[in-house]
Structure 1
Amino acid sequence: MKSLKNKLSLGAAGCAAGAVNGIFGGGGGMIVVPLLTAAGGKPPLIAHATAILVILPVSLASAIVYLANGWFDAELFISVSIGVAAGGAAGAKLLGAITPAAATIAFAAVMFAAGVRMML
């Protein structure tokens, strides 16, 4: 069982992940995955799967605020959701088929590429 201090740390990091998700419309998993692998000692497969499940209620809470303020495009939502659902299913199957080291390298590469893209 985790210590109270560890649980509080995970809770604080979860709060940060929720804030990131709410501000940027996503990205909370970028905080949750490294937290669960490094601080939580979980293997990448468990960390990634848990991050997706953790981000689900966070995204729902953010979506409610976005909807309440009228910041929503139904046509765009439908178009993008089809591709995201297919890609998510394919990615989840792929994650189960690769080594933990490969998952870690792939995650780091995607985060690096996203960071470079944002700076350009």
Structure 2
Amino acid sequence: MNKKSFSFKLLLLGLVSGVMNGLFGAGGGTILVPGMFFLLNVSQHKSHATAIAIILPLTLVSAFIYIQHGIIVWDVTLKVILGGVVGSYIGARLFSRIPDHLLRKAFGIFMIIAAIRMVL
């Protein structure tokens, strides 16, 4: 893959994940992880870790706009943040102990279950 093609894929992946984040609050895991893994041949662990780093600026931009429009439920937000911070710490510590093939399968199963729940 030439450098120009690779850069285009990166920009396109960023654009799609940014739009999905803004519209649905999704894009980091659902778009970036499979995109990096399948399109860019980034390892499973590195795809997940890189997606987490990318999600922060995407989320900050979306959250800023949502705050401007007054559509955030703050009492829910603050309570979920508390649990999320603790859960993120635990998940990140466990992350390196899971082999790539199991991480890929667990992520795939999670995505399928989430998709089914969203449709039904």
TM-score by length of 2: 0.94
Deviates more, 1:52-61 or 1:2-11: 2-11
Deviation of the 1:56 alpha carbon: 0.6
2:29 is matched with which residue?
Answer: 29
Once the two structures are superposed, residues 58-109 of structure 1 have per-residue CA deviations (whole angstroms, 9 ceiling, x without a partner) of 0000001000000112211110001111111111122110100010001000
- Contact 1:18–1:58 (CA<8 Å) still a contact in 2? yes
| Paired position in structure 1 for 2:53 | 53
Residue 117 (structure 2) pairs with residue 98 (structure 1): no
Unaligned 5+ residue runs, structure 2? none
- State the TM-score, normalizing by the size of structure 1: 0.94
CA deviation string 1:29-77 (max 9, x = no partner): 2110011111111111111000000011000000010000001122111
CA distance in 2, matches of 1:62, 1:53: 15
Alignment of 1:87 with 2:87, yes or no, is yes
Number of residue-to-residue matches in the alignment: 120
Taking the aligned partners of 1:3 and 1:106, their CA distance within structure 2 comes to 32
- Residues 84-93 or 60-69, more deviating: 84-93
Could you list the structure 1 runs, at least 4 aligned residues long, displaced by more than 3 angstroms after superposition: none
Unaligned runs of 5+ in 1: none
SS of the aligned residue for 1:54 comes to helix
In structure 1, distance between residues paired with 2:18 and 2:27: 9
2:20 is aligned with 1:20? yes
Matched AA of 2:82: I
Q: Aligned partners of 1:44 and 1:72: how far apart in 2?
A: 33
RMSD: 1.4
For 1:6 and 1:97, the matched residues in 2 are separated by 30
Q: For residue 3 of structure 2, what is the amino acid of its counterpart?
A: S
Q: Does the aligned pair in 1 maintain the 2:36–2:47 contact within 8 Å?
A: yes
Q: Is the 8 A contact 1:26 1:59 kept in 2?
A: no
